[in-house]
C-alpha cells in the first residue's frame, strides 16, 4: 500500500469537517494522515477535537502579527516542520495569501456550502435562502488568490428546505462530510 499523504487541516470553528476527514482516515478509506490542525481562533472547538486524537494544533491569532505575510510565514514554518504535503481548508474563515499559495501550488483545497460560482464568501446558505433558490449544494475546489474562485473538483446538489435554514444547513453538513473525504481520496491517490 502506498505511503499516506501528509495533510494539514485548517479550521476556524467546531471542526465537524475535520472530524469527518479523521473518521474516514481511521476507517482506512482515505490514504492520508493529518499531521497538523491550524486554527486562527485559539479557542475553537476544532483544537479540542484534534487534541483528543493526538494531532498537534497550531493556534495563532492573526491579529498578533504585524502582517498577513508574517502570520503565514509562522504557519508555513510549522507546516514544513510537520512535512505537510497538502492543505485542506475546512471552515477556515480567512483568505489564503501568497506565502502559502506559492509554497503549495495546486495543493490547497477548500469546501464551500454552495454550488459555486453561486454564493461565494461568507454565509452562503443565508445568501441562497435570501435569493429563494430551490437547490444549493456543496463544492470542493482548489484554492487560488480569490474568494471561492478556484477550479472546481467536485460538487453535489442539495435541496433547500423552504423556510428552514436549520434543516437546510444540517443537510449541507451531512453532504460535506461525505463529499470532502471522497474528493480528497481522488486527489491524494
Q: What is the pLDDT of residues 38-90, one digit of tens each?
A: 999 999 999 999 999 999 999 999 999 999 999 999 999 999 999 999 999 99
Determine the Cα–Cα distance for residues 117 and 64; give it in Å rounded to an integer: 33
Phi/psi of residue 126, nearest 5 degrees: -60, -40
**Angle, CA 42 vertex, CA 39 and CA 44 arms, to 5°:** 75
3-class state of residue 70 by DSSP? helix
Is 177 in the active site? Answer: no
Strand 135-142 with 108-112, pairing: antiparallel
Taking only the tens of pLDDT, the chain with its 189 residues reads: 458 999 999 999 999 999 999 999 999 999 999 999 999 999 999 999 999 999 999 999 999 999 999 999 999 999 999 999 999 999 999 999 999 999 999 999 999 999 999 999 999 999 999 999 999 999 999 999 999 999 999 999 999 998 899 999 999 999 999 999 999 999 987
Domains and CATH numbers, the chain: 5-188 (3.40.50.170)
Q: Report the largest interatomic distance among the alpha carbons of the chain, rounded to a whole angstrom.
A: 48
What is the pTM for the complete model shown? 0.95
Of 112, 131, 141, 173, which residue is the catalytic one? 112
Amino acid at each position: 500500500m502506498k505511503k499516506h499523504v501528509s495533510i494539514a487541516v485548517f479550521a476556524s470553528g467546531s471542526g465537524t469537517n475535520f472530524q469527518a476527514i479523521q473518521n474516514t482516515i481511521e476507517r482506512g478509506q482515505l490514504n492520508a494522515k493529518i499531521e497538523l490542525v491550524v486554527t486562527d481562533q485559539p479557542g475553537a472547538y476544532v483544537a479540542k477535537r484534534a487534541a483528543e486524537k493526538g494531532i498537534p494544533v497550531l493556534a495563532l491569532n492573526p491579529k498578533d502579527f504585524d502582517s498577513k505575510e508574517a502570520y503565514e510565514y509562522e504557519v508555513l514554518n510549522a507546516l514544513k516542520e510537520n512535512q505537510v504535503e497538502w492543505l485542506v481548508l475546512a471552515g477556515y474563515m480567512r483568505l489564503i495569501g501568497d506565502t502559502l499559495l506559492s509554497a503549495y501550488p495546486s495543493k490547497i483545497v477548500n469546501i464551500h456550502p454552495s454550488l459555486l460560482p453561486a454564493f461565494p464568501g461568507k454565509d452562503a446558505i443565508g445568501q441562497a435562502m435570501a435569493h429563494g433558490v430551490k437547490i444549493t449544494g456543496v463544492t470542493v475546489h482548489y484554492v487560488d488568490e480569490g474568494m471561492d474562485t478556484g477550479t472546481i473538483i467536485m460538487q453535489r446538489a442539495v435541496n433547500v428546505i423552504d423556510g428552514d435554514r436549520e434543516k437546510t444547513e444540517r443537510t449541507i453538513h451531512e453532504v460535506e462530510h461525505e463529499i470532502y473525504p471522497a474528493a480528497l481520496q481522488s486527489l491524494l491517490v
